[in-house]
Chain A
């Protein structure tokens, strides 16, 4: 993580949605994300996660006007000086409700929509459509209606549409909140593969902390427009009291470690397992001793 170069930098960013808003939606945000990071963005609804994500492709403040201070540099470009359609080649966006993003009669047209505005040739488009459908696990569905797909498939189509622009960064805002368990699995899997196999930088806002602890390289916790914690999942989820006071959950296996420590059953020095595999190993010791 630290070896790769920064791809997103927030420098002292503060943003108010309107001139009359007293409270800013983002307060003094400083954040560096490296190429290939998988960033989990956590926080209550209204904490500023979506606003922060909209800064990455420049929609804030270029399309959604407001009072913007500071600087966001994405892949070397200052978002204030770069048109949003240019940013769309670098940053793909996927939102929580796939139906709001779909508008076309066929899957192929849906994917072509973004490419058309970038002046791709017909051959390039056809090739790209096949390629991105393959990546998200929907090969051969070009002619199908987007509205006949399952929620998970629709969301993967949204990802495919974003990928067609060849972005380096994929921003996902609660992409699994409106799909069933199969759909969730599919979306998390695709995001993981893009990150792992194609070094795509992923920024995902998500309430499922157990899944985020599994995949994220960097966890960013927001509260009332501010970043209050950031670090590896292990670092962030060692801040039990702070997370509790913010009303946030932590992975169950970490909360369990904290309980064991409070009861004097196991000393973990405030460092709790956050992934299942770590937990099996750590807590297995309680039983090994007994068995031995």
Chain B
């Protein structure tokens, strides 16, 4: 699914200070003339739904310090801060628009600057969705984030924290679970919002780490080699159900359950199953200005069962692990939020105790964000990592800055 930019928040932060300062200013002396509003000009404007294609660019930059020198070992997300100092987390070019009366198309092209100074480019998502199918059906075709839970299908600039939850890193790797495929969704004819989704995607590649993954990678200490698609059982299957209810005029609840099933790269007939549940609740004032004030709570829990085929040295076995996070974000007043998140992952460590990805750990994070407008933000986050498996605890402070240019489509709720 998508995320895109939007107009979703606005700030207004300086109000208090502003009025106070205004009082301080003596009215009267040489106040400049108020800027006259633009005179009505009757010209054909260049936008306003007059384009075939919306184009936007979003940049996400982090800076900070951590007591852990091995930042990539600490931060499990591919768009998390990657080193002490500055990290270019994400530069996202989004193109979207109506293809014709039957499809909408979207491409998310992501650029990153590696700690070594090189630039990488990734065709993160490219897909079309249908717009005119009957019976409340919708099909999505292309390369897309699997619709599993709430964080996985979204892009980093929509997140409420600087980094992705630990459980997402553990289950889906740094770049999230995404692949080429097709997804059918049905909006059910219930009085409340209720949707069933079913996706079929390639199960191999570096963005399907719990499944085929790529040759040379490991999971639970086991070497992986995905092999070829030989039958329908070699695909990744991703079902999801979600439902939403309004409580009165100001509260909304969304609940969902997702699964991801497919073979993994440890050998033939070795399968992975991941199940997850998610919850979202939001309260927004009936007199919201710029969408503030609000309070939102979000939580996801996942569990994985990973069959590992026998190797010449290791027996066939099944690993089990799990993780969860819960977060609350309070939009105190226009353009200001504070939030807290608790993360936890655990379960089987696998056959390589030195792999930091599988150490049991928990993490607590606090954040504060100021949105100068809905097109920019400045965030500070503190996190304490309590890491098992012989890894040292860590304290980290990250700053994050975002700016958004152009016409970025609005995000899903």
Are A and B bound to each other?
no
